[in-house]
Amino acid sequence: MLELKGAFIAIVLGLMARFEGQNRFSPSRGTEDDYLHAAAESALETLRKGHVRLAEGILSNALREYRARRG
């Protein structure tokens, strides 16, 4: 279980870094990227509290919403 949490944290941090980098080069999508960034931070905080499935759901919903907004 601990390995799963570590892998999940790595994925969340990777997503945060990826979209943070995109914000620097494409400010027109800032609102969408801010939404995903906030969701990643929320998922990470939820994971720190030990709620793996809830954190996974937060990210899954955020990514689905992000894709829908981008078209």
pTM of the predicted protein model: 0.57
For residue 54, how many C-alpha atoms fall within 13 Å in the half-sphere facing its CB?
9
What DSSP character marks residue 28? G
Q: What is the pLDDT of residue 16?
A: 65
Question: pLDDT, tens digit, for every residue of 13-63?
Answer: 666 666 655 544 444 556 666 777 788 888 888 888 888 888 888 888 887
pLDDT higher than 60, residue 71: yes
What token pair was written down for 31?
A: 């609102």
Q: What is the pLDDT of residue 47?
A: 82
Q: Where are the domains of the chain?
A: 2-70
Question: pLDDT, tens digit, for every residue of 10-21?
Answer: 677 666 666 655
